[in-house]
């Protein structure tokens, strides 16, 4: 005996431990094989669905073009005056299923632009599930709501401090901090909007381009020299006007976000045609 434990008891404990380790190793291998098989099967099925989706999308475009051509040539009038409307409604209903349903993620997506590739590299940011796409859009709207409030408060605080504490002469660092935040804001908006476009959102290109321009503006503003005394108020007149303009833009952004929220709600309830 050794410390009151018989050798055969210790051997049995070690053997059980070895058996458990071997069993876990076998289960891990089986799990890996099952996961690999599932991924391969899912990949093949996904590829098949994507091919069907691409074929359906091509057929849809051909039908839409054919109907438009026949309407222009007035070939449908001789058959039925309501036939064109009926066909258009059927196509529109099919289009809604294609765009708004779970199958939307399998249709050909818009190519990722240079902006996304520059920041994220060759990464596929298209969500395969509709609920994930909706969460991305909701996060974008929440980001706009949060930043619109900051867009209003940040310059307002700077102007208040200028009048009450800094006695009409703002130090350079707070202004440059605000300008750096603007660069971060517009970059974040542009990234989110590009991701939304890849996921099928109908964001207008000019809206994204204007955020590119705003990024350049914010980057250039970081190079401004914030001059101090003497004649500080006169030298910083441009900065003061810029902050006042930013406050007005913040109010406009809040109103715009509120309007778009209400518009989306009405569309969801079917009150907007």
Q: What digits encode the pLDDT tens for the residues 3-55?
A: 555 667 677 777 888 888 888 888 888 888 888 888 888 777 777 877 887 78
- Flag whether 273 is in a domain: no
Q: Which residue has the higher pLDDT, 235 or 215?
A: 215
Tell which residue, 149, 154, 152, 151, has the closest CA to residue 175. Answer: 154
- Say what the pLDDT of residue 239 is: 81
- Same domain as 164, residue 82: no
Question: 121: domain range?
Answer: 115-268
- Same domain as 143, residue 50: no
Q: What is the mean pLDDT of residues 93-115?
A: 69
pLDDT of 235 over the 60 cut: yes
Q: Is residue 249 within 8 Å of 154, Cβ to Cβ? A: no
Alpha helices (H) in 74-129, listed in sequence order = 83-100, 114-120
Q: What is the mean pLDDT of residues 259-267?
A: 61
- Flag whether 18 is in a domain: yes
Q: What is the mean pLDDT of residues 249-254?
A: 86
Would you list the DSSP string of 176-238? HHHHHHHHHHHHHHHHHHHHHHHTT----HHHHHHHHHHHHHHHHHTT-----SSSHHHHTHH
- Flag whether 1 is in a domain: no
- Same domain as 251, residue 127: yes
pLDDT tens, position by position, 216-228: 988 988 887 776 6
Q: Which residue has the higher pLDDT, 178 or 201?
A: 178
Residue 231 binned pLDDT confidence (cut-offs 50, 70, 90): low
- Flag whether 2 is in a domain: no
What does pTM read for this prediction? 0.65
Tokens in use for 24? 């876990």
- Say what the pLDDT of residue 110 is: 65
Q: Which residue has the higher pLDDT, 118 or 112?
A: 118
Tell which residue, 173, 169, 147, has the closest CA to residue 159. Answer: 169
Number of independent structural domains in the chain: 2
Q: What is the mean pLDDT of residues 119-125?
A: 79
Of 108, 128, 149, the one marking the end of a domain is 108
- Say what the pLDDT of residue 72 is: 64
- Same domain as 128, residue 74: no
- Say what the pLDDT of residue 109 is: 65
């Amino acid at each position: 005996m050794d410390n009151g434990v018989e050798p055969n008891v210790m051997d049995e404990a070690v053997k059980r431990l070895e058996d458990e380790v071997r069993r876990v190793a076998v289960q891990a291998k089986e799990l890996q094989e099952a996961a690999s098989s599932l991924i391969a099967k899912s990949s093949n099925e996904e590829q098949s669905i994507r091919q069907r989706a691409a074929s359906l999308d091509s057929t849809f475009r051909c039908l839409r073009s054919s109907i438009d051509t026949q309407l222009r040539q007035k070939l449908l009038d001789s058959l039925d005056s309501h036939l064109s409307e009926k066909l258009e409604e059927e196509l529109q209903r099919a289009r809604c299923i294609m765009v708004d349903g779970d199958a939307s993620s399998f249709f050909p997506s818009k190519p990722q632009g240079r902006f996304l590739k520059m920041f994220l590299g060759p990464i596929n940011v298209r969500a395969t599930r509709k609920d994930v796409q909706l969460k991305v859009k909701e996060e974008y709207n929440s980001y706009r709501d949060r930043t619109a409030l900051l867009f209003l408060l940040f310059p307002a605080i700077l102007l208040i401090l200028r009048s009450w504490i800094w006695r009409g002469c703002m130090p350079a660092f707070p202004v440059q901090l605000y300008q750096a935040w603007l660069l971060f804001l517009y970059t974040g908006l542009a990234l989110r909007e590009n991701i939304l476009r890849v996921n099928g959102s109908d964001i207008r290109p000019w809206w994204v381009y204007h955020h590119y321009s705003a990024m350049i503006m914010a980057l250039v503003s970081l190079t401004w020299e914030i001059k101090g005394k003497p004649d500080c108020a006169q030298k910083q007149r441009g900065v003061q006007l810029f902050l006042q303009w930013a406050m007005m833009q913040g109010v406009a952004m809040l109103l715009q976000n509120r309007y778009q929220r209400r518009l989306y709600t009405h569309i969801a309830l079917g009150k907007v045609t």
